[in-house]
Structure formats: C-alpha cells, structure tokens
Structure 1
Amino acid sequence: MKLQRLRVEQFRQFRQGLELDSLKPGINLIHGPNESGKSTLVRAIRAAFFERYRSKSAEDLAPWGDSSAAPTVELVFEHNGQRWQLDKRFLKRHRCDLLIDSASFSGEEAEEKLAELLGYQFPKKGASKEEHWGIPGLLWVEQGTGQDIEKAVLHAGGHLKSALNSLVGEVASSGGDEIIQAVEQQRKELLTSTGRPRGDYLDLANARHTLQEQVAELQSRVEQYKAQVDRLGSLAAEHEQANRDRPWEEARRGMLRAEEKYREVEALQEKQARGQDALKQLQQNLALLQQSRAHWQNQNEQLELRYQTYKKAKKQLEQEELASPELAKTVEAARNQYQQAADAVQQAHLRDKRERLQKDCARLEAELSKLKQSQEKAREIQASLESFRKIKSDNIIDVNVLRKLKQNQRELDDANIRIQTIATRVTWNLNPGKDLTLNGESIEGHGEKLLLEPGLLEIPGFGSLGIQPGGDDLASLRRQLERLQQMVSQQLATLAVESVEAAEQKLARLQEAEAQVQRFDELLKSLAPNGADHLNSMKQEVEDELQARSAELKAMAVDWNTADTRPLSHVEADLKQAETRLAEAESRQRNHETELLKLRHTCDAAHREWQRMKDELNNPERQQQMEKLTGDITAVEKQQAELETALKEREARISEARPELLKQDIERYRATAEQQEKAQQKRALELSEIRAKLEAWGAEGLEEQHNEKAAELEHVSRRYLELDRRAKALDLLLNLLKEKRQALTRRLQAPLQKHLDHYLTVLFPEANLEVDENLMPGKFSRGSELGQMAELSFGAREQMGLISRLAYADLLQEAGRPTLIILDDTLVHSDADRLEGMKRILFDAANRHQILLFTCHPEKWQDLGVEPRDLKALKLQGDAG
C-alpha cells in the first residue's frame, strides 16, 4: 500500500484546507514546530479509516469554535496495482465515497471494504477505540506511545496469525485445538486453571480430609481414655497414702520450733544494738574532748606563726612605698606624649577634610556640567516628541474598522470575480457599416459586455432578441455586490480615506509616528526619568551643594605649610600607641596604689591578731581548764574499753545462733506445709475430674465411633484416589498436547522471528528478542543480560517497539497484506548512537514499506537521504491558494 495524496479541509486547525501530495514510496519526512498540525494529519488518516462517517462522536475533528464545519479527508493510495481514492466527510453533509479504479462504493459498504483491506473493525456504536484498530493500530504509532506495543499486538493478533497461516499452511491447522479443548474441558471438571481440585474431586478431597481429622481425633480420645484409667489408679493410691501420713502437720511443727529460736536471737540483737548506740555516744564524746585538747595545744604554735606573718607584711609594705615616686613620673611623661599625638591627629583630620572638600567641589562641577548638557538635549528631544505626537494625532485610524474594510474589500473583489464568471457575456463582431441596438445603446464593430439584468437586442430589419442572465444565483450575487459596495463606501467615509491603500498608508504613518513617539519618549525618560522639572531641581541642588562646599573650604584658615604632613593613618597609629602607653602607666599606678592599701590592711590585721592571741594565752584560767580536760578524757577511755568487751561477747553468741538460717527454716517449713496441703487438694480434685470424664467417655462409645469413621474414610479414600488418578492423567495429557502445540507454534513464529532478528542485529549485534505464542515480544537477551522487554529503559523499549512493528510489517507484506507505517514524533528518547542505528533500520525498511515520519526535530533526520516536507510552508501555500 502506497499513500500518494492526502487532503484535509475544515479539520481542526486546517480550516482553509491543506494538501500533502506526491508522497514517495519509501520514507516521507514531514516536519514542523509544535502545534503546526503534524498530529492533526495523523488524526485525519486515522479518522478516514477508523471513524464511521455517520458517527456522532467525531465532534473533536471540527475546527475549534466552528459548529457548522464539515471536516473532510481525501486519500489516494495504490495497492496491488489498483488506485484507491477515499473521500470522507463528517458531521455536516456526511458522506463516504470509495473509488477502486473504475469500481465505486459508498457509505458503509465503502467502509467495510477498507476495514477488510487493512485488517481492523468498526465499533458497534460510539467512537472507534484501540481494541478496534487491528493492523493499523500496530503500524501507526501515535506521539508518545512507541514503547507501548503489548495492547496493539493483542488487538492485531488475529490478523497476524492469519498472515502466518497463509505462510506456513497446514502447520497452523487447528485440528489439534479440538483435542486440546476436549481435554481441557474434562480437566476443568476436576481441576482449576492453577491445578487445584474442583467439583466432585474437591468435595471428595474435603470429605477425606475431614474424615481423616475425625478418625485421628477419635483415636486420640480412645488413647486418652486408656491413659486416664491408668492415671486414676496411681492417683488414688497417692491420695490415700497422704491422708494416712499427713506430712504437712510435721512441717508446721518444725516451723514453730524455728520461730521460737529466732525470737531468742532477736532479743540478743536488740540488746546488742543498744550497746552499739552507747559505744557511739562515748566515741563521739571522746573525740570532742580530744579535739579541744589538740586545739589548745595548737594555739601556742599559732602565736609564733601570727608574729612571723606580721613581720612579713610590714616588710612588704615598706618595699612598695619606695616605688611610688617613679610610677608618678612615668604617668606624667605618658600624658604629655598622648596630648602631642592627639594634636597631630586633629591636624591630619583637618587636612583630609580639606582634600575631601576639594574632590567634592570637582565632582559637583562635573555633575553640574553634565546636568546642563542633559537639559539642553532633553529640550531637543521634547521638541521632536511633540512633532511626532502631532503626526500621530493627525493619522489616528480605527484598526478594527480598517480590518473589516480590508475583509469587505476582499469579499467585494471575490464577488466581482464570481459575478464576471457567472454573468451572461455578450460578444459581437459586426461587418463594417452594420450596427445593432443593445438595451437602447447602439453597438458596432466588435466587443463584449456582461449582462447582470435582462437585456433587449434589436436587429434592424429582423426584430429583437430578449436576453435573460443566469437566474437566482446571479440576483443574489448582485445584491451581495451592492451590499459590499455600500459597506466599503461607509467604512472609507468613517476612516476619512479614499481607498484601502490610502487607509493602509495612514495606518503606516500612524504606526511610524507611534514608534517615534515611543522612541523619543524612552530617550527623554533615559535623560530625565522623573521629568524635566526634576532635572531642573537636581541642577539647583548640585549648584547649592557646590556653593556650600566652596564656602566651607574657604573657611578652613590653617597654616598648611607648618602643619604635620604625615598621613592620617600614621598619626592615628602614634596616637593609639601613646594612648596604650598612658593606659598601661595609669594601670600600673592604680595597681600599685591598690596593692599599698591591701598591704597596709594586711599588716594592721596581722598585728591585731598576734596581740589578741598573746593576751589570751597568758590568762590563768586557761591552765585550770587544761587539767580538767585531761581527767575527763581518761574516764571516757575506760568506759569505752569495758563496753567494747561486752559487745564482742554478745556478737559471738548471735553469730553462733545463725539468725538468717533460722529465718530461712521458718519460710521453708511454711512453704512445705502449704505445698503438701495444696498437692493433696489437687489430687482430690483431679480424682473427681477423671472419674467424671471416664463416665462420660464410657457413655459415648468412643471405640464404636472410631470404627465407623474409619470404615467411612476407607470408602471415600478409594473414590478420591480414582478421581485423583484421572485428574493427574488429564493434566499430564494436556501438558503433552500443549508441548506438541508449542512446537507447531514455534514453526509459526519462525517467519516473524526471522524479520525481528534482521532488524535487531543492526542495533544489538549479539542480542535476541523472543516472541511468545501470542506473537508478543517478551524475553530480551544480550550476552549475559537476560530479562523482559518491559524491564528495559524507556528509550530502549521505544526502539524495541519500533523494531517489532517493522518486523510485523515485513511479515504482513510477505503474506500479501497491505502495509503503511506512520511514526508521529517517535524515537525522541534515543541517544545519538542508538538513533544512528535506528536510521539505518528505517532506511532498510523503506525499501519494502512506505513510511510517513512526522517530527518537530528535522535536524536529527537530515541524513536520511530524503527531501523533508515543511508543514509550515505547506500551510502558507494553502492559505495563499
């Protein structure tokens, strides 16, 4: 199939119509920017084939906002040496005409012919969808869908298998399918698709499982019954023995003996605690007495230390007083140096201020000169601006009225052309000296005239002929002509011009004036952004500031010849150093004075402390207190020794009794008595429960129930095993049949795999892409890499999708089916190397198929060896036509 011409009119953005003709048998590269209509042309081809011409779901084909449009698509293509021409119109005056050489078809018959040729279906109602598109849905790739191939293959699967059948003949026979379907049907009666039981097989499996559980439960209960009988005998003997021995009473007697011994030890412990408290009080009293004696003995030593501290403080004070005069001289010298440095800094600041004022005056003079120039230039620009504003006001014109005037003028010209075409044209060629009368006007020689109204041609000597021009259309066209002439005259008067050309010249003068006004206005704003008044104000401010700076400079009466000429930074550094030296000298003086005060205070305090302690030690009462303190210490030491001896003897008795073990014995005997009583109670309770349980189980007849369920289980198991063997046999048979069928399927896949490998090795020399039994591309391998096609990157899936589509096209062509490949902005995610390989693949496929390649990146396809078609240029040609 080779598409030769495509024309669309009133189709979305193509209101005036666009024609794409002289299409080549190989690659046709059509390019244009976004929104230029590439996807619209693809949609037109799809609508021509897929949409019913009577469909009410085709509203999206009409131009936006035009409810009266009748979208039209015309296609001419060649197939098997026959010329096919399709004319299809939607919405308004819908129709469908198909011409195959000299045979014509229309309406639904024509649509069915196309569907049969290309291999697709029409929907029963509503708009055409992806599941109806068949082979074209596989080969015609919409923008952004190149990587999605699974659904397209699924919807085209029947047509692809039909093409394979025509290639491999009896290998694709469906005779084996009936056997497989019969086995599958019988298998479905017993197994689900996942191999799980169903129906009678499932019911028997569930019954068998339930019976197995019941038999196991009954067997367990029988064994439990026997075990409980044995347990009853041993438990009864244990209970009788415990009632005779009553071991818990002996444990309680042992607990009472241990409690009595523990109370005796507690009495000794309390007495020992009181003795230890008394010992602590004696030890505290003795320690206080010894501290007092040590304190009094230490005071004699402290007296000598106080005297030595006083002598040392007095010596330090005398040494510090000798340094005071020298520190005072150092501070005075530092003050003099600081004052000299401060005077030098002040002179340097005045010198810098003078230089700054001189620079400010120079800057202000330059700025004043610049402002004066700007004022003069602004006055010139203002004059030019007023001149062009005058031109603008003289040429004001209503653009909307002009646009309507031009439209009406074009319609008037078209009406004149149409009226000249359909008006009655009278021509004459008379012999010399002969004349006729047409509508009362004499005519002679040769000439012609257009008649828009009825006319009368008088022939002297013969009579007259009535001439009636063209009918209702001419009258309507004449009225339209008069209406347009009147509208054009009114609009010319409104615009105050004599012709359309004069109006356009006036508009050009207006636009030129507006541009000049804008330019001079921008120039004026660049010179005086805030207006001429603000510029004058700025000039006055600069003049005032210049005058003030000049006056301030003159007022600086300093003898600059005798002033210090060093830089300000240098004199400030000297001032900082002088200030540092002065601060250090003053700090040392303050620290010296502070130290003198501290030394005087320390010396006086040491003298007072030495004198006070000396007087206190020479007091007679102190000797009597020392003698009494010595006697008290001796008496307390004797009491402490006696108490310590008694405590040691009592502690030995307590340790020998082991009170912690006595306490443990009490807890052990108590726990033993409680445990033995609880064990006896538990044995009695368990005896009662076992007797009741054995009575109940004996009444149920457990062994009889077990035997009945075991017999029932054996019967169900035999029936289950029969169905189980049948299900496994059917499953095995179905697998064997499918394996044989898969071998046949692989023979079916061989032609498609051949074409797929042909293209794939161009892009990936060592790769392999397998197709499944539904002819769907699936497993992709390359060297050690292995995975599904869906797991590849977006760009790689897009490339694999296009390669697969080209292989399907080769398969269809080999089977004698028509092919047309349409690619709308495909391979946009391919890198440079992969794109180069895909170009080789497309160029190779173009030797066998026609390819319509639509793109907004023509620079990427300029090395395809074909002449690109610029859609934008085609649209301009259509508008001009």
Structure 2
Amino acid sequence: MKLQRMRIEQLRQFRKPFVLDNLQPGLNLIHGPNESGKSTLVRAIRAAFFERYRSTAVDDLRPWGDSAAAPTIELDFEHDNRVWRLTKSFLQRKRCDLVVGTETYSEDDAEEKLAELLGYQYPKRGASKAEHWGIPGLLWVEQGTGQDIEQAIEHAGDHLKSALNSMVGEVASSGGDDLIETVRSQRDTLLTGTGKPRGDYQQLEKDRALYEREIGELKERVHKYQEQVDRLGKLAHDYDQAEAERPWEDAQRQLEEARVRYQQVERLEQQQNQEKATLSQLLQNHRLLQQNKEHLEGLSRQLEGRKAELDRAERDLSTAEAQTPMIAGRLSEARTAYEQAEKQRKLAGLLQTRQRLEQDVRRLEQQKQVLSQNLAKAKEYHQQLEQARQQARENRIDAELVKKLRATGNQLNEETIRSRTIATRLSWQLDAGASLTLNDESLTGQGEQQLLEESTLVIPGVGTLGITPGGEELASTRRKLKALEEDLEEQLKTLGVESVQQAEDRLSAFESAGRAVKHADELFKSLAPAGLEQLVSDQNEAEGELEKARTQLEATPKPDPQEDVPALEEAEAAFARAGTALDKAESDERVHQSSLSALKQARDNAKTEWQRLADEEKSPERQQQLRQITADLANIEKQQAELEASLERREREIREARPEFLRQDIERYQNAVNQLRQTQENRSRELRDIKVRLEAWGAEGLEEQLNEQEAEFDQCNRRYQELHRRAQALDLLLNLLTEKRQALTRRLQAPLQKHLNHYLSVLFPEASLEVDEQLRPGTFSRGSELGQITELSFGAREQMGLISRLAYADLLREAGRPTLVILDDTLVHSDSDRLEDMKRILFDAASRHQILLFTCHPGNWNDLGVPPIDLQSLKVQAVAQA
C-alpha cells in the first residue's frame, strides 16, 4: 500500500483545503514546528480509516468554534497495482465513498472494504479505540507510544496469525484446533486448568471421601462397642472383689494409730518449747546482770578517761581563743577593700552610661537625617507614580482589540492591493479643454483609476459607455473589501480612535505609562514599603527617641576628670574579687566563732561528766549493787544447767519418735483411704455409664449401618474410577495435541523471528530477541545479560518497539498484505549512536514499505537521504493559492 495524496478541509486548524501530495513510495520525512499540524494529519488518516462516517464521537475533528463544519478527508493510495480513492466526511455532511479502479463502494460497504483490506474492525458504537485498530494500530505509531507494543500486538494478533498461516500452509488448517478445543472442552468438564477435579468428578471425589470417613467412623464405633463389652466384665469383677475385701477400712485403722503416736510427740514438743523459752529468759537475765557488773567495775576506768578528755578540751579552747584577733583583722581589711571596689564600679558604670547615651544621640541624629531624606524622595516618587497612573488612565486601551484592529487593517491593505491587481484599470489622457464623466465625476487632463464595480463613462458628443468588471474573483474581492471596511470602521468606533495608527500610538503610550507606573512604584516601595504615613511615623518616632536620649544624657552626671576611673569590665572584675575575699573572711569568722562555741560546750560537757563519775564512784549504794549482782548470777547459772540437761533428754525422745515420718504416714494413710473409696465409686459410676452406652449402641444397629455404607461406597468408587480414568486419558490426549500444536506454532514464529533478527543485528550485534506463542517479543539476551524488553531503558524499549513493528510489516508484506508505516515524533529519546543505527534500519525498511515520518526536529534527520517536506511551507502556499 502506497499513500500518494491526501486532502483535508474543515478539520481542526485546517479550515481551508490543504493538500499533501507527491508522497514517495519509500521514506517520507514531514517536518514542522509544534502546533503546525503534524498530529492533525496523522489523526486525519486514522479517522479516515478507523472512524465510522456516521459517528457522533468525532467532535475533536471540528475546527474550534465552527459548529457548522463538515471535516472532510480525501486519500489516494495504490495497492495491488490499482488506484484507490477514499473520500469521507463527518458531522454536518456524513458521507463515505471508495473508488477502486472502476469499482465504486459507498457508506458501510466502503468502510467494510477498507477494514478487510488493512485488517482492523469498527466499534459497534462510540469512538474507535486501540482494541479495534488491528494491523494499522501496530504499524501507525502515535506520538509518545513507540515503546508500548504489547497491547498493539495483542489487538493485531489474529491478523498476524492469519498472515503466518497463509505462509506456512498446513498450519492454516483449523481441524487441529477444533480437535484440541473438543478435547479441551471434554477435559474441562472433568478437570480445572490446574488439573483439579470439577463437576461430577469432583462431587464423586467428595462423596467417596465422605463414605470413607463415615465407614471409618462406623468401624471405630463398632470397635469401641466391643471394647466397652470387655471393659464391663473386668469392671464388674473388680467392683465385687473390692466390696468383699473393703481395703479402705484397713487403711483407716492405720491412719488412726499414726495420729495417736503423732499427738504424743506433739505434747513432748510443746514441753520442749516451754523449757526453751524459760532457758532463753534466764540467758537474757544473766547477760543483763553481767553488763551491770561490768559497768560498776569499769567506773574507775571511765573516770580516768573523762579526766583526760577534760584536759584536752581545755587545751583546744585556749588555742582557738588565741586565733581570734588575727581573724577579726582579716575581716576588717576585706570590708574596706570591698567598699573601695564598689565605689570604682559605680564610677565606671556611670562613665559607660554617658558614653552609650552619647552614641545613641549620634545614631538617632543620623537616623533622623536619613528618614528625612527618604521622606522627601518618597514624596517625589509618589508624585511621579500618580502622574504615570494619570497618563495610563488617559491612554487606556484594550491591547487585544488593538491587535485585532491591526490584523483587520493589514487584511484590508492586502485585499486592497490584491483588488488593484485584478480590477479593471481605466487610464485617460485628454486634450486641453476636453473632459469625460465617470460615474458623475468629471475627468480632465491625464490620470488612471481602478474599477471594481459597474461604472458609466460619458463621452461628450459621442455617448455613454457601460463598464462592467468581470470575474467571480473580483466580485468576491469587492465583497471582502466592503466587509473589511465595515469591520474596520466598527472596531475604530469601539476603540474611540480615528485610525489604526492612532490606536497604535495610544497603545504605545498606555504601555509606556504602565512601565513608568511599575518603575515609579518600585522606587517608591524601595523607600516606603509600608506607605508615606508609616515613613512619617518612623521619622516622628526617631525624633522622640532622640529627644529622650538627649534628656537622659543631660541628667547623667559627668565623673571627675581628675579621678582615675578604670574600665567597667576591670572595675566589675575587681569588685567580684573583693566580694569573694569578703565572703571568705566572713565565712572564716563564722567558722571560728562556731568552733569556739563548740569547744566551750565540749569543755563544759567533759567537766560535768567527770564530776558525775567522781561522785558516783564514792557512793555506798554502788558496793551493795555489786554484791547483789554476784549472788544473782550464781543462782541463774545453776538453773541454766538443770534446764539444759532436761532439754537434752526430751530432744532425744522426740528424735527417736521420728515425727516427720509420722506426719508422712498420716498423709499417706489419708490419701490411701480417699483413693480406695474414690476408685470404688468410679467403678460403680463407670459400670452404670457402660451399661447405658451399650444399650444405646445396640439399639442403633452399628454393624448393619456399616454394611450398608460399605455397599454404597463400592458403587460410588466404581463410578469415580471410571471418571478418573477418563480424566487422565483426556488430560494425556490434550497434552499430546498441545505439544504438537506448539511445534506447529514454532514453525509460525520462524518467519517473524527471521525479520526480527535482521533488524536486531544492526542495533544490537550478538544479541537475540525471542518471540512467544502470542507472537510478542519477550526475552532479550546480549552476552551474559538476560531479561525482558520491558526491563530495558525507555529509549531502548522505544527502539525495540520500532524494529518489532518493521519486522511485522515485513511479515505482512511476504504474506501479500498491505503495509503502511506512520511514525509521529518517534525516537526522540535515542542517543546519537543509536539514532544513527535506527536511520540505517529505516532506510533499509523503506525499500520494502512506505514510511511517513513526522518530526519537529528536522535537524536530527538531515542525513536520512530523502528530501524533507516542510509542512509550514505547504500551509503558506495553500493560503496564497486560496
């Protein structure tokens, strides 16, 4: 298929007829800037083939603002050595005509003929979508979709397989597919896609499992029934034997005997505890008496120690009192130094305050001067701003209306010039005194005039001549001139000007005033961003602060110039050191006074204690206490010996009785009594339960139920085995047929793989690209790299998408199918080296297919080897011809 010519009219930006012809059978490079109409041409081709002529979903074809438009597309192309002409109109004039040689098709017949030729389909309703585009959707690449190929292949899959079938031959037979579908259909009634049972087969499998589970449960219940019968006999024997022997009564007797023996041991332990308490009391009394005796005997030693402590306290007090004058002198010196440092600090602070106030006065005077200057300038800029705004108001005019007026004036000038070239020209050269009358206007001397309308020329003495300018073009020009003149007059009235130049001058003055307003406003805001009032307020505030600073400066006294005043930092440091020294002297004095008080108190305490001990040592009561304590200690030691002998005897008796074993015997015999009684009660209860359970199970007829379930299971299992063998057979047959079909599919893939390898070797030497069963490019390998093409970079995927489309085009061409490749701004993400390789590939493919390459970057394709078609230039020529 070779597109030779296309003509569009009333379609988007192409309101007037536009023709793109002289298209070459190979590569065609069509370029133009953005919004020049490249995508519109591609959309027109797609609409001509894909959209139903009667569709109401093609409003995007309508020129903007023109509700009466009838977008029309006319295509001339050659296929199979015959010339085809397609004419299709939409919206206001719905029509489709197709002429093939001497044959003619119209309306739906024409559209179906095109769809059958190119391999696509129409939607049942609404706008055409990607799933309907088939082969053209694969070979006609829209802007920005070059890398997306999977969906396009899926939508064109049936047409591609049809082409391959026609090439391979026996694979085209549908008998194998019908057989596979028949086997798959029968298999699918029994098995899911993953090989799991379904339908009756699945239900039989569930029933079979249910029977097996129920039979197992019945067998388990029969087994339990037999076990319960055996258990009943053994329990009855054990129960009768226990009732005859009554072993819990022997255990109860042994329990009572153990309790009696343990009570005897408890009485011995109570006596033992009482004697231990008595012995503990005797020991405590002995210890207290011994302490009192030692205290009375140690009174003389304490008296000597107290005398030594009294002497030591008096010496320490004398030493401390000797240090009092020295500590008081240090405190007086520290206070004098602190007062002098404080005086120097105040003088230094006063001097620094005056210096700061003097600096503030100078700073505020300078600030006041700057604010006064800024206020004067701001008032000047504000006046300039108001003047500029007044000028802008006086010259305000709508720029868009001026632009429209300028365009109307230019059109009027162009039409006037054009009218002069086609109007009837009347020239005259009369003798002196001679005259003519043209449309009631007297003509004399020499002159020339152009006639656009029917005119009357009166020649005195001869007669009247009627002059009628001819041609439809002149009449059209005359109407256009009149319309333009009226339009211009109306626009001049709207703008309130007398000429286009006056409107231009007013617009220029208005724009100049706008720039002046902006400039003056920027200058004004640079000085008074918050306005003149704020600037005046700032100046008043600065004046107030200046007056306040001057008042404070006058109120601050000047230091004596004869006095040496240190810096404030130095004075504060000296003041801090003096304060620290004073704190240290005061702290030392307080510590000394506290120490004196403590030493005096210690001396007085030691003297009092010594006097008390001396008086106590000489008293007769002390001697009597010593004699009484000695007698009490002898009596307590005798009682202690008797108690210890008695405790040893009773401890031996308790140890021989082994009370811990007696406690264990009581626990053991008690547990035995309880366990023997509980065991007999459990036997009695279990005997009753087993008898009731056996009676219930015997009434259910477990063995009869088991026989019935086994019979039903046998019948279900036989049917299940039949379907199981059939499912396995169908699954095996389907696998064999599918493997055979896959072998045939690989034969289908071979021609496409050949064309892919042809282009791939140019772009990626030593690389390979495999085609899957759906004829889609899948696994890409290059050296040690292996992956899917979807994992490549955006630019590489765009390149792989293009060579895949060219390979499909080669395949279709071998099958005798028509091909046309349309590329809209493709390969924009390719680097220079890859782009060079892609140019080789496109030039090679152009020897077999017609390729329409639309681009807004003609510089990238200068070396493509074909003459470029300048779309912008064609549009200008079309306007000139119109």
TM range (shorter): 0.7 to 0.9
Match of 2:841 among 823, 844, 860: 844
The residue that corresponds to 1:176 in the other structure is 176
- Structure 2 letter corresponding to 1:660: E
8 Å CA contact 1:457–1:466 kept in 2: the answer is: no
Could you say if the C-alpha distance between residues 81 and 524 of structure 1 is closer, same or farther in structure 2, counting changes exceeding 3 Å? farther
Structure 1 CA distance, aligned partners of 2:626 and 2:456? 171
Relative to structure 1, is the Cα distance of residues 393 and 729 closer, same or farther in structure 2, using a 3 angstrom cutoff?
closer
The equivalent residue for 2:452 is 450
* Cα contact 2:456–2:465 (8 A) shared by 1: no
Aligned partners of 2:18 and 2:287: how far apart in 1? 124
Separation in structure 2 between the aligned mates of residue 244 and residue 314 of structure 1, nearest angstrom? 103
Shift of 1:853: 7.1
User: What pairs with 1:266-285 in structure 2 (closer than 5 Å)?
Assistant: 266-285=266-285
CA deviation profile, 1:413-433 (whole Å, cap 9, x unmatched): 7997999999xx767799999
- Residue 675 in structure 1 maps to residue 706 in structure 2: no
Q: One-letter code of the match for 1:506?
A: R
Output the amino acid matched with 1:451.
Answer: E
The CA distance in 2 between the partners of 1:615 and 1:17, in whole Å, is 147
Letter in 1 for 2:55: S
Which secondary structure does the structure 1 equivalent of 2:844 belong to?
coil
2:736 corresponds to? 736
* 1:242–1:356 distance in 2 versus 1, CA, 3 Å: closer
* CA distance in 2: counterparts of 1:698 and 1:817, whole angstroms: 85
- 1:455-488 CA distance string (max 9 Å, x none): 89999999998979999x989996x987875675
1:136 counterpart residue number: 136
Checking the alignment, whether the CA contact within 8 Å between 1:212 and 1:713 is kept in structure 2 is yes
- Letter of the 2:665 partner, please give it: D
* 1:786–1:450 distance in 2 versus 1, CA, 3 Å: closer
Deviates more, 1:511-520 or 1:531-540: 531-540
User: Tell me, what secondary structure is at the counterpart of 1:770?
Assistant: strand
How far did 1:123 drift? 0.8
**Post-superposition shift, 1:726?**
3.4
Determine the C-alpha separation between the residues in 2 that align with 1:17 and 1:660: 125
Equivalents in 2 of 1:76, 1:132: separation in Å?
A: 23
1:191 aligns with 2:191: yes
TM superposition shift of 1:748: 1.0
- Contact kept? 1:839, 1:864, Cα under 8 Å: no
Tell me the distance in 1 between the aligned counterparts of 2:865 and 2:599: 110
Counterpart for residue 313 of structure 2: 313
Query: Is residue 27–residue 853 contact of structure 2 (8 Å, CA) maintained in 1?
Result: no
Q: Which runs of structure 2 are paired with 1:392-471 in the superposition (5 Å)?
A: 392-397=392-397, 402=402, 449-451=451-453
The answer to whether the 8 Å contact 1:99/1:105 transfers is: yes
Residue type of the alignment partner of 1:168: V
Structure 2 CA distance for partners of 1:213 and 1:442, relative to 1, 3 Å: same
CA RMSD of aligned residues (A): 5.4
Deviations 1:280-310 (Å, cap 9, x if unpaired)? 4444444444444455555554444433333
Secondary structure, counterpart of 1:319 in structure 2: helix
Distance 1:56 1:490, change over 3 A: closer
Q: Which amino acid aligns with 1:847?
A: D
Question: In the TM superposition, what is the alpha-carbon distance from 1:262 to its structure 2 partner?
Answer: 2.8
Distance across 1 between alignment mates of 2:869 and 2:616: 128
- SS of the equivalent of 1:451 reads coil
Q: 1:233 to 1:525 in 2, by over 3 A?
A: closer
| Farther off after superposition, 24-33 or 204-213 | 24-33
- Does 2:607 align with 1:610? no
* Matching residue's letter, 1:449: L
Partner of 2:776: 776
Distance 1:603 1:875 in 2: 128
Question: Following TM superposition, by how much is the alpha carbon of 1:356 offset from its aligned partner in structure 2, in angstroms?
Answer: 5.5
2:774 is paired with a residue whose SS is coil
1:120 matched to 2:120? The reply is yes
- Give the Cα separation in 2 of the matches to 1:109 and 1:411: 46
- Name the structure 1 match of 2:247: 247
Distance 1:705 1:588 in 2: 113
- AA in 2 matched with 1:514: G
Are the aligned partners of 1:27 and 1:846 in contact in 2 as well (CA < 8 Å)?
Answer: no
Q: Which runs of 5+ in 2 are unaligned?
A: none
Letter in 2 for 1:607: K
Write the distance in 2 (CA, Å) between the matches of 1:875 and 1:332.
112
Moved more, 144-153 or 508-517: 144-153
Q: CA deviation at 1:513?
A: 2.0
Q: Which residue does the alignment assign to 2:646?
A: 646
Matches within 5 A, 1:491-506: 492-493=492-493, 495-506=495-506
What SS is found at the alignment partner of 2:451? strand
2:312 is aligned with what amino acid?
K
Deviates more, 1:519-528 or 1:359-368: 359-368
Gap change, CA 1:208 and 1:503, over 3 Å in 2: closer
Paired with 1:855 and 1:282, the residues of 2 have a C-alpha distance of: 123
C-alpha contact (below 8 Å) 1:13/1:63 kept by paired residues = yes
Residues 457 and 464, structure 2, Cα contact 8 Å, conserved in 1: no
- Residues 239-284 of structure 1: CA deviation (Å, up to 9, x unaligned): 3333332223222222222233233333333333444444444444
Decide whether the 8 Å contact of 1:436 with 1:460 is kept in 2: no
User: What pairs up with 1:40-439 in 2 under 5 angstroms?
Assistant: 45-59=45-59, 62=62, 88-96=88-96, 106-140=106-140, 148-199=148-199, 201-202=201-202, 204-297=204-297, 300-338=300-338, 381=381, 385=385, 388-389=388-389, 391-397=391-397, 402=402
Name the structure 1 match of 2:510. 510
Tell me which amino acid in the other structure corresponds to 1:840. Answer: D
Task: Give me the whole-angstrom Cα distance separating, in 1, the residues matched to 2:414 and 2:97.
Answer: 31
Rounded to whole Å, the distance in 2 between the matches of 1:677 and 1:863 is: 114
Give the residue type in structure 2 aligned to 1:520: A
1:848 maps to amino acid = A
CA contact (8 A) 1:451 1:469 kept: no
Identity %: 52
Q: Is the alpha carbon distance of 1:200 and 1:432 closer, same or farther for their aligned partners in structure 2, counting shifts above 3 Å? A: same
Task: Evaluate the alpha carbon distance shift between residue 792 and residue 437 of structure 1 in structure 2; reply closer, same or farther with a 3 A threshold.
Answer: closer
Give the C-alpha shift of residue 121 in structure 1.
0.9
Q: Aligned partners of 1:672, 1:681: CA distance in 2, in Å?
A: 14
Pair 570,733 (structure 1): closer, same or farther in 2 beyond 3 Å: same
* Residues 804-813 or 744-753, more deviating: 804-813
Q: Do 2:236 and 2:687's aligned partners in 1 also have CA atoms closer than 8 Å?
A: yes
Is contact 2:49–2:111 with CA below 8 Å preserved after alignment?
Answer: yes
| Higher mean C-alpha displacement, 229-238 vs 781-790 | 781-790
Contact 1:763 1:838 in 2 (8 A): no
Q: Counterpart of 2:451 in structure 1: which amino acid?
A: K
Q: 1:322 to 1:187 in 2, by over 3 A?
A: same
| Letter paired with 1:648 | E
Shift of 1:558: 5.8
- Contact kept, 8 Å, 1:455 with 1:468, in 2: the verdict is no
Q: What CA distance in whole angstroms lies between the structure 2 residues aligned with 1:625 and 1:63? A: 138
**How many angstroms apart in 2 are the aligned matches of 1:534 and 1:723?**
100
2:860 & 2:606 partners in 1: Cα distance? 105
Aligned residues: 871
Give the conservation status (yes or no) of the 8 Å contact 2:825–2:856.
Answer: yes
Whether the 8 Å contact between 2:799 and 2:838 is mirrored in structure 1 is no
1:343 deviates by: 5.6
Cα shift at 1:88: 4.6
For the Cα contact (< 8 Å) 1:347–1:564, is it kept in 2? no
Alignment of 1:592 onto 2:589: no
Name the structure 1 match of 2:621: 621
- Taking structure 2 as the reference length, the TM-score comes to 0.79
